[in-house]
């Protein structure tokens, strides 16, 4: 079975998103755009309208140590994955939401908020979703510097009142 023809080229992506960040081809079917927080919504909009990226594959999040990173993986009928990468400062982890542009992003954003503590401005319901209800506020298990605090209660069954 032969692959679907890849019609989206590096030049097209450069033409569409070149002014929003540096563009590089990282794999035969993956083009990465290093963008910044203020430009990311514009980049998503342009990827949708100019590059026909109508499907969000994944919003990956990672902790780089100094910064947090978000990678929006978009694709479309051309089957080329366009990655919009943004770095987020650790002390002020805030990005505008993409949930109104990409409906499935709402789910991914809540998950990232829960596990990495990135706040998505404008998200309509950014609440605890993946960790249990008793999880202490302000602790994000997927951050590299997170260690469980023995004095905190992380869930399970609470002992009967002492």
CB of 42 to another protein, least distance (A): 20
Q: Which two tokens stand for residue 91?
A: 């002390």
Q: Under the criterion CB under 8 A, does residue 141 sit at the interface with another protein? A: yes
User: If binding is defined by CB under 8 A, does position 41 make contact with another protein?
Assistant: no
For tokens 């990135």, what's the residue? 118
Rounded distance, CA 151 to CA 20, Å? Answer: 45
Q: Which token pair is 7?
A: 């019609």
Closest CB 90 distance from another protein, rounded Å: 15
Question: Where would I find the beta strands (DSSP E) of the chain?
Answer: 22-27, 30-34, 55-63, 67-75, 81-89, 94-96, 119-121
Q: Of the candidates 34, 39, 57, 67, which one interacts with another protein according to CB under 8 A?
A: 57
Can you give the binding site for another protein, defined by CB under 8 A? Answer: 1-4, 26-27, 29-30, 54-58, 60-63, 71, 73, 79, 81, 83, 99-100, 102-104, 106-108, 110-111, 114-115, 123-125, 127, 129-135, 141-142, 144, 147-159
């Amino acid at each position: 079975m032969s692959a679907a023809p890849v019609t989206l080229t590096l030049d097209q992506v450069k033409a569409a998103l070149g002014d929003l960040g540096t563009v590089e081809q990282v794999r035969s079917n993956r083009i990465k755009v290093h963008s910044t927080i203020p430009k990311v919504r514009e980049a998503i909009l342009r990827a949708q309208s100019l590059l026909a990226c109508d499907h969000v594959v994944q919003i990956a999040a990672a902790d780089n140590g100094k910064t947090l990173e978000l990678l929006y993986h978009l694709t479309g009928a051309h089957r080329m994955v366009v990655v919009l990468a943004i770095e987020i400062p650790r002390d002020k982890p805030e990005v505008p939401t993409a949930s109104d542009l990409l409906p499935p992003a709402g789910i991914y954003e809540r998950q990232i908020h829960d596990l990495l503590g990135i706040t998505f401005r404008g998200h309509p319901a950014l609440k605890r979703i993946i960790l249990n209800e008793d999880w202490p506020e302000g602790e994000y298990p997927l951050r590299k510097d997170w260690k469980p605090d023995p004095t905190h209660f992380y869930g399970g069954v609470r002992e009967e009142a002492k």
